[in-house]
A and B are shown apart, each in its own frame.
Chain A
C-alpha cells in the first residue's frame, strides 16, 4: 500500500498556490497575494487567503514567524514541503496522462 500523504482539504486550490509561493522563501500575506496574482493572473481575496493560511498552519504545512510590525511572515515546514512535492508530482502525472491521450486522439 502506498504511504499516505495528507491532503490539502478545503480551500485546496488556494492552499496549493500559497504553498508554491512559500516554496521560494518566507512571505507575509500581502506578498503571497501579489505573488499568486502575478503567477496566475487571478486575484486571491483576503478571506480566501486567510482561510487557506489558517488551515495550512493548523495542519502543520506552514508556520508563522515573528511579526515584522503588523505583518507576519509564513514559511513552509518539512511536512508542507513533502505534501507540496507529492501534490505537484500527482498534478504532473495527470497532466502527462492528459497530454498523452490528447496526442493519441489527434493521430
Chain B
C-alpha cells in the first residue's frame, strides 16, 4: 500500500522533474523499502516542483505578449476608425477579447510573482495579492457583463485594483534589479492614466514589451539573481 502510494505520488511530478529524478527516487524506494509517510512526502514534493520549476516557464511571457497584443490591436483599430469609440454594441464586440486578455494578464502577473520569488516582502505580497484579486475580479465582472448582468462601477473598481496592483508589482521588480520587466509593467499601468484609447495603446505596448523582456531575461526569485 505504502509502495503504491509512493509510486502514485511520483506520477504527480512535472515531466521534466520526472525525467531527471524519477529513476533515482524509484531506486531509493526499492533499496530502502517503502514507509508509511512516503506518499504524502512525495505529494508535497510534487506540489513544490510544480510551484517552483527549476527552469522558468515561458508561458507568462507569452501570455503578456498575447494580452498586450489584444489591447494594442483594439487600440489601433479604434484610433484608425473614424467612428466614436463607444459605438453601439461595442461592449458585446469587445467583451470576449477583453476577457481573454484579462485571463492572459493574470498568467503574466503570476509570472511576475515568480520572478519576485517566495522571499517577497510583505508589501510586495500585498501588491501581488491586489493585482491577482483585481484581475480575477475584473474577469468575473466581464463574464457577468457578457451574461448581461452588470457592467459599471464594480468592473471599474476591479480593473483599477488590477492595474494599481500590477503597477506596484512592476515597481517591486525594479527594486529587485529586474529593471526592464518592472519598468515596462509599471509603464503599462501608468499608461492607463492617459485618457481612453491612447492609454490602452500604452498599456498594450507596455505588456507586450514586458512579455518580450520576460522571455529574454528568464528569472526565478531574487535569491537566484545572486549567481
Contacts and interface: CB of A to CB of B under 8 A. Distances in A.
Interface in B17-64: 17, 20-21, 23-29, 31-32, 35, 37-38, 40-46, 48-49, 52, 54
Interface residues of A, number: 30
A47 B52 contact: no
B104 to A, nearest CB: 28
Given A33-B28, A69-B27, A46 B223 contact: no
B41 A72 contact: no
A60 B227 contact: yes
B224 interface: yes
Contact of A54 (B9, B17, B38): B17
Q: How many B residues are at the interface, by size bracket?
A: 35 or more
A89 interface: no
A46 B38 contact: yes
Contacts of B217: none
A72 B31 CA distance: 13
B6 interface: yes
A6 B226 contact: yes
B48 A46 contact: no
B21 A6 contact: no
Contacts of B54: 54, 58
Interface string B1-21: 000001001000000010011
A6 B163 CA distance: 33
